[in-house]
Structure 1
Amino acid sequence: MKVAKFGGSSVANAAQFQKVAKIVMADPERKVIVVSAPGKRFKEDIKMTDMLISLAEQVKEGGDTTGPVRQIVDRYASIANELGVDSAILERIEEDLNDLIVSLHNEEPTRLLDAIKASGEDNNAKLMAAYLSQLGVEAHYVNPKEAGIFVTDEPGNARVLPESYKKIAELRNRTGVLVVPGFFGYSTEGKVITFSRGGSDITGSILAAGVKADLYENFTDVDSIYSVNPMIVPNPKEIKELTYREMRELSYAGFSVFHDEALEPVYKMGIPVCVKNTNNPQAPGTYIVAKRNHNDSPVVGIASDDGFCNIHVDKYLMNREIGFGRKLLHVLEDEGISYEHTPSGIDNISVILREHQFDEDVEKRVFGRIQRELDVDSVYVERGLALIMVVGEGMNQSVGVAAKATEAFARANVNLEMINQGSSEVSMMFGVKADGVKKAVKSLYNVYFNEMMTISYSKI
């Protein structure tokens, strides 16, 4: 059994629906299908989810929703009419959307955004099931509650509850192709709760783990995962295989192909993942597995992301002071700030944050508390940072990988603000000023994927 998830670009219009149907019909093992809301049809287009967020704002403000609802239904109609799907499905979509608006606006305004956002995937799944049925496929729309996807009551940031998996396993006994909307589940009280944005990947992973699938296929609009962002390095090397841990590191640091939370369910079950292209399903794609042979490529990928800042704290004999790190992080916790990394020395510690959490008002409060409660020698913030991750499980068995990185930064004339390597040695993290990140990434790619590969081949 395979679980196949199709992202927004894969279900954006009628032509993409037809491609999905061919993929599903080409392999009888594809029994569970997860769909996102319609994505962009062209560069200037608006994603369905963004249209729904605007609708929710309109409802919240008490405005007229006739126009926005009509626009959303017309988007589905453009798909359904071209495919020749019975118009009754469109009437159902419009009726459900209007009922949703009225009931939530009057009774539960706090649940408004999650429920309206979730309707994008929900209605698209209904449309996909209707289209497959029209083609003669035994296809069934399955609501996440019916499927057994129960989640924590955290709107916009749901996490699956462990008891879900026993119920999901029962889907194996169902006949035909099961079409499940991605992106949301239900609280134990029966409320619609969404995952974080892009969470259809998470739904697919949960279902793959629940039905104990042999493979989880994640269909998108690229042939494979690349070793670096193609917007920075043209025609980069394709990754044929990487591990769950490597993918997690790359997703965290800016690889947008796969949601960074989506690997946990399949990782725990040891289910391989294959990222494939809806527009070119014959391409082998990239496999995400538990173990890989990394002898020929100690570094699998380079990722980068900006929008960080660094709080730097100095205090003489800090290493002798019991509980210093805990007290520092407690100050951030009180402000509701999450941190990313904490590289440290004997007399100093840095805390890396997402910069949007740390405006001037927050900075003033946090620095005041750090000075008063920890009696530090100095504390300051460095803004406008980018993080670059060099990722590969083979690095800990290869001599000179770190030296190559520092050489690459020197060649690019980019100053290093910070270096950190986790104890697992799956990745090395470098902090640089955001304006130098592209030069640094290009130089790193050249060192690891051009020069090192040439040396590797010359030894054969």
Structure 2
Amino acid sequence: MKVVKFGGSSVASAEQYKKAGSIILSDHARKVIVVSAPGKRFDGDEKTTDLLIKLAQTVQNGSYNEKLFKAVLERYNEIIEELGLDEHLKGQLEGNLRELISLYGEDKDRLLDALKSSGEDMNARLMTSYLQSLGHKASYVSPKEAGMIVTDEPGNAQILPEAYERIAQLRTREEILVIPGFFGYSYQGNIVTFPRGGSDITGSIIAAGMDAEEYENFTDVDSVYCVSPKMVDKPCELKEITYREMRELAYSGFSVFHDEALQPVFQKGIPVRVKNTNRPEAAGTRIVLERELNGQPVIGIASDTDFCSVNITKYLMNRELGFGRRLLAILEDEGISYEHTPSGIDNLSVILRSHQLENGKEERVLDRIKKELDVDDINIERNLAMIMVVGEGMKHAVGVASKAAQALADSGSNIKMINQGSSEVSMMFGVDGASVVNAVNHLYRAYFPEK
């Protein structure tokens, strides 16, 4: 039994629905389907989730926009008409959406979660109706019925351990099950969404709970690439990659997976296959627990921008008991999470996402560090990009770091920071944001010269 997840581009239109339906019915093992909300149909189009977020904002600020409401419904009505589905679905979907606005209109956070999740929910209902219209037994299964019990923090749902026992009970059902992605229900009865990209998380949770043979994730690319095609022309495709490698790459900007999505299947050892809805015959990329290294130490290069570095200097810092703890306590008090903390004997840097210092936090944090830790100097370096060089084979190879340093030097990029974890699965380099594309291209040529 396979769990199959279709991303937004795979269910964006009636034409894409037909492709998805053909894929589902071509393999009898594809018994559980998880769907996203309709994505972009063409360049310049808007994702349905973005329309729903805008709609929620108009309700929240008292400027309810009926035109925007109708624009959301039109995305689904177009699919219903072109697939020849039951016209009663139009009224059902409109009624559900108006009910959510009426029910949660006075609660800003709950309204946003309810409307965001409705994109996936409505699409799951349509996919169920479409499969039934093709003469197959299919059932819509709400996350509540599926057993997706989550924590109650709006926009940041976390699956609860007992949910997996409930999800396992779905294995007794024989028909095709269609489950909306992106959200679950709390014990308080609230709709709670996972972080953005959470349909991947839903698919992974369902696959783990049902002990699936494989979790297939259909998107709009043939495979995972070793580097973003937006940065390097025609990069090589990856046939196989480990969970740890994918996690490192996802964290660093790979958009194929949300970086939390692999945890449930990783814990169960369930293989994941990334495939293209538009070219289902392509082999895709398998994500597995272990793979053959084939003498290639580096498997991928990823990058992300908009970081800053808070640089702190204090003489004899290394001898001051509790310095690091007190520094991180200040960040915790201010609700700031950090990414990395490279350090020397008298200096320490804290790498942060830049947006975390907005709305007056920067001045407050710097002032607290100066006064409470009595530092000699503190400054912020902005517009940093982080480049991650990833590969399970790095721990068995000599000269991987020197090759990266030479490539970055050849690109004219000044290395602001170097960090490598004890697992030696990845190396991270901080460079100026303006030089990141050139730096990544030089790294790609250094590690994949034959390409």
TM-score normalised by L of structure 2: 0.98
Residues 71-127 of structure 1: CA distance to partner in whole angstroms, max 9, x if unpaired? 211110111100000111111001111111112115x44411000110000000000
Q: State the partner residue of 1:421.
A: 420
Cα distance in 2, alignment partners of residues 263 and 360 from structure 1: 33
Runs of 4+ in 1 over 4 A off after TM superposition: none
Which ranges of structure 2 fall in alignment gaps of 5 or more residues?
A: none
Q: Secondary structure at the match of 1:435?
A: helix
Q: State the partner residue of 1:253.
A: 252
Q: State the partner residue of 2:393.
A: 394
Cα distance in 1, alignment partners of residues 264 and 156 from structure 2: 16
User: Identity over the aligned pairs, expressed in percent?
Assistant: 61
Cα distance in 2, alignment partners of residues 87 and 162 from structure 1: 40
Letter in 1 for 2:152: D
Cα distance in 2, alignment partners of residues 64 and 333 from structure 1: 37
Letter in 2 for 1:22: S
Cα gap change, 1:64 to 1:326, in 2 (>3 Å): closer
The answer to whether the aligner puts 1:81 opposite 2:86 as a matched pair is: no
Which ranges of structure 1 fall in alignment gaps of 5 or more residues?
A: 455-460
Q: State the partner residue of 2:59.
A: 59
Q: State the partner residue of 2:91.
A: 91
Q: Secondary structure at the match of 1:339?
A: coil
- Contact 2:55/2:64, CA 8 A, preserved across alignment: no
Q: State the partner residue of 2:364.
A: 365
Letter in 1 for 2:66: T
Q: State the partner residue of 1:7.
A: 7
The answer to whether the aligner puts 1:228 opposite 2:227 as a matched pair is: yes
The answer to whether the aligner puts 1:139 opposite 2:132 as a matched pair is: no
Q: State the partner residue of 1:49.
A: 49
* 1:365 to partner: Cα distance: 1.3
Q: State the partner residue of 1:32.
A: 32
Q: Which moved more, 1:19-28 or 1:374-383?
A: 374-383
Q: State the partner residue of 2:444.
A: 445
- Contact 2:383/2:433, CA 8 A, preserved across alignment: yes
Cα RMSD after superposing both structures: 1.1
Q: Secondary structure at the match of 2:229?
A: coil
Cα distance in 2, alignment partners of residues 149 and 185 from structure 1: 5
Residues 317-362 of structure 1: CA distance to partner in whole angstroms, max 9, x if unpaired? 1111111111111111111111001111111111000001113832
Q: State the partner residue of 2:170.
A: 171
Residues 258-314 of structure 1: CA distance to partner in whole angstroms, max 9, x if unpaired? 111000000000000000000000101001100011132110100000000000111
Cα gap change, 1:109 to 1:336, in 2 (>3 Å): closer
Q: Which moved more, 1:367-376 or 1:242-251?
A: 367-376
Q: Which moved more, 1:306-315 or 1:365-374?
A: 365-374
Letter in 1 for 2:313: D
* 1:316 to partner: Cα distance: 1.5
Cα distance in 1, alignment partners of residues 421 and 40 from structure 2: 38
Cα gap change, 1:219 to 1:355, in 2 (>3 Å): same
Q: Secondary structure at the match of 2:448?
A: helix
- Contact 2:40/2:46, CA 8 A, preserved across alignment: yes
The answer to whether the aligner puts 1:278 opposite 2:277 as a matched pair is: yes
Cα distance in 1, alignment partners of residues 240 and 376 from structure 2: 48
- Contact 2:183/2:202, CA 8 A, preserved across alignment: yes
* 1:69 to partner: Cα distance: 2.0
Q: State the partner residue of 2:336.
A: 337
Cα distance in 2, alignment partners of residues 197 and 246 from structure 1: 21
Cα distance in 1, alignment partners of residues 161 and 85 from structure 2: 38
Q: Secondary structure at the match of 2:286?
A: strand
Q: State the partner residue of 1:150.
A: 149
Q: State the partner residue of 2:17.
A: 17
Q: Secondary structure at the match of 1:403?
A: helix
Cα distance in 1, alignment partners of residues 90 and 304 from structure 2: 41
Cα distance in 2, alignment partners of residues 371 and 345 from structure 1: 19
Q: Secondary structure at the match of 2:148?
A: coil
TM-score normalised by L of structure 1: 0.97
The answer to whether the aligner puts 1:309 opposite 2:322 as a matched pair is: no
Q: Which moved more, 1:304-313 or 1:294-303?
A: 294-303
Q: Which moved more, 1:12-21 or 1:373-382?
A: 373-382
Cα distance in 2, alignment partners of residues 103 and 218 from structure 1: 34
Cα distance in 1, alignment partners of residues 267 and 32 from structure 2: 20
Equivalenced residue count is: 451
* 1:70 to partner: Cα distance: 1.7
